């Protein structure tokens, strides 16, 4: 090849690179929604590679401080190039998540070069048998696995004094708005990283508040789906009865886009996903993104959830809800409230301790390779690992769980009590008052939703005097996601409260 030919090729490459960079510069990456990204893809103003490169650059700058991402996928750029090639070839794209980078909580298995550890050093180097059910659905949709989000170690089921967002692998995650504020958990990094624009969208998990709480604390939208609506196969468990996987995103519409992809039957999580699949509406969830979604909705306000200070803080939101056509039913009381609190505080713990040991042992036994095969092995590992800070944080929850021996008389009684209070407490109140949803200041409704496997959505609602975010949560009966989405989207569109965090947390 002549020197002139080589010079011409190099010049073309430089022009192409300059052209691509110029097009990308016209795209506003910060706070970009899935819709923004897909429009830019179609107009050839953006590629998946440019999008991934942007997030990798932001991660490199901010993650050493925020500690929201525990690992970046070394194949992320390769997957981005693959997505770009598919789009360029004119192939029929399977989903609106095609080419979109997704951050995955570190307790959700990925069969790739990433670890799946629930933040624990005990599982570093372990090999999972396959992708988690929700990850399979993401890959099928053409999404790019960007990396693993940090989390409270073992989803906060190691110790009662373990700080939210801390784990032995990465240390303490920070709230991107106010460094001294609680980043909450256990899906800490899924919330903080999306809030700080280190990823487009993310997945979290919840057993009792782990999506709603960090979403509230970091000014993002979190959807806690009905248990079984999304597969838990391949998720490091606490309880098959309460665990669920859901999206954490900057907007309701993005969260719904992700939800549409990850819901549905999974033979590896049977019969829960089979039963819950009957709740999935024909045509998916996007159709419920209605600006007038609040019209004629009956929203309940519980005495026990909203104190006098909460009423003052949320009064303007109540006014907005009414102005948009919602009917607020206040001063409500849950029937048998004392029994409900007993179930939340006592019966739930009794059941979770036994379920955790059984479910975790079953998960660990299925791993292709691991240094720990049981909860007892994890407890022993924590005692000898300096980085796990056993002396500082202990592992009282794990020790209590290890002492259980399956579902015995005590556990069966606890489970019966939980079923009873759900039916004659929360469900009765919702049905008698013909409520579409129950309102909650922040995530205070989380425990009530957890014990019955009910869905909930958190939407940003404001910032206190120090700049710490807070949200408004909506909870409903099983399968009520369509109604909750209408309500959450209607509220979001009426308020537009979310704002990105400062470049450095205060």
Give the DSSP letter of residue 207.
S
Question: Which residues make beta-bridge pairs with 221?
Answer: 249
Tokens of 477: 């009966």
210 part of the active site: yes
Bridge-based pairing of strands 469-475 and 437-441 is antiparallel
pLDDT value for 423:
96
Please give the pLDDT value at position 23. 56
Residues 6+ apart with CB under 8 A from 95: 140, 141, 142, 143, 261
The strand pair at 298-302 and 327-332 is best described as parallel
Q: Is 7 exposed, middle or buried (0-12, 13-18, 19+ CB in 10 A)?
A: exposed
* Residue from 159, 202, 210, 253 carrying the catalytic annotation: 210
Residue carrying the six token digits 């989803």: 155
- Active-site residue identified among 67, 105, 148, 357: 105
pLDDT profile of the chain (506 residues), mean per 10? 40 43 77 98 97 98 98 98 96 91 98 98 98 98 98 98 98 98 98 98 98 98 98 98 98 98 98 98 98 98 87 93 98 90 94 98 98 98 98 98 98 97 96 98 96 98 97 98 98 98 87
Q: Give pLDDT, residue 504.
A: 81
Report pTM: 0.95
Q: Which residues contact 458 (CB under 8 A, 6 or more apart)?
A: 211, 212, 215, 216, 220, 221, 222, 442, 443, 471, 472, 473
Residue whose entry in the numeric block shows the structure tokens 């979001």: 492
For residues 492 and 321, the answer to whether their CB atoms sit within 8 Å is no
Q: Among 48, 120, 126, 186, which one carries the catalytic annotation?
A: 186
Cα 152 to Cα 113, 190, 237, 277: the distances in Å are: 22, 11, 14, 30
pLDDT reported for residue 201: 98
Beta strands in 290-432 (DSSP E): 298-302, 327-332
């Amino acid at each position: 090849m002549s020197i002139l030919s080589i010079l011409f090729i190099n010049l073309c490459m430089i022009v192409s690179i300059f052209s691509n960079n110029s097009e990308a510069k016209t795209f506003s990456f910060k706070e970009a929604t899935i819709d923004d990204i897909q429009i830019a893809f179609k107009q050839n103003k953006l590629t998946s590679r440019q999008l991934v490169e942007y997030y990798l650059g932001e991660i490199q700058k901010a993650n050493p401080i925020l500690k929201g991402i525990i690992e970046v996928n070394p194949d992320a750029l390769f997957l981005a190039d693959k997505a770009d090639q598919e789009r360029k070839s004119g192939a029929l794209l399977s989903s609106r998540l095609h080419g979109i980078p997704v951050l995955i909580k570190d307790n959700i298995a990925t069969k790739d070069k990433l670890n799946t550890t629930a933040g624990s050093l005990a599982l570093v180097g372990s090999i999972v048998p396959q992708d988690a059910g929700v990850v399979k659905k993401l890959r099928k949709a053409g999404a790019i696995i960007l990396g693993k989000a940090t989390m409270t170690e073992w989803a906060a089921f190691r110790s009662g004094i373990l700080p939210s967002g801390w784990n032995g692998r990465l240390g303490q995650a920070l709230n991107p708005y106010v460094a001294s504020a609680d980043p909450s958990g256990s899906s800490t990094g899924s919330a903080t990283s999306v809030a700080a624009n280190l990823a487009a969208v993310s997945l979290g998990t919840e057993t009792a508040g782990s999506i709603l709480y960090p979403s509230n604390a970091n000014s993002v939208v979190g959807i806690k789906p009905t248990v079984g609506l999304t597969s838990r196969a391949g998720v490091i468990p606490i309880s098959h009865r309460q665990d669920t996987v859901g999206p954490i995103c900057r907007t309701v519409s993005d969260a719904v886009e992700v939800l549409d992809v990850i819901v549905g039957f999974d033979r590896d999580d049977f019969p829960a996903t089979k039963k819950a699949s009957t709740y999935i509406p024909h045509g998916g969830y996007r159709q419920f993104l209605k600006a007038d979604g609040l019209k004629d909705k009956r929203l309940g306000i519980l005495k026990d959830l909203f104190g006098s200070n909460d009423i003052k803080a949320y009064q303007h939101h109540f006014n907005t809800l009414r102005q948009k056509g919602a009917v607020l039913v206040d001063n409500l009381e849950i029937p048998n409230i004392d029994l409900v609190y007993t179930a939340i505080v006592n019966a739930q713990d009794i059941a979770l301790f036994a379920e955790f040991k059984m479910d975790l042992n079953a998960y660990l036994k299925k791993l292709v390779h691991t240094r720990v095969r049981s909860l007892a092995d994890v407890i022993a590992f924590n005692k000898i690992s300096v980085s796990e800070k056993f002396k500082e944080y202990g592992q009282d929850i794990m020790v209590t769980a290890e002492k259980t021996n399956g579902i015995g008389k005590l556990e069966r009684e606890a489970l019966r009590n939980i079923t009873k209070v759900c039916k004659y407490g929360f469900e009765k109140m919702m049905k008698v008052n013909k409520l579409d949803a129950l309102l909650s200041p922040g995530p205070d409704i989380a425990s009530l939703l957890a014990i019955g496997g009910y869905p909930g959505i958190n939407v940003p609602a404001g910032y206190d005097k120090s700049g710490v975010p807070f949200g408004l949560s909506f909870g409903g009966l099983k399968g009520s996601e369509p109604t909750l989405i209408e309500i959450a989207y209607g509220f979001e569109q009426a308020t537009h409260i979310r704002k990105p965090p400062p470049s450095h947390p205060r």
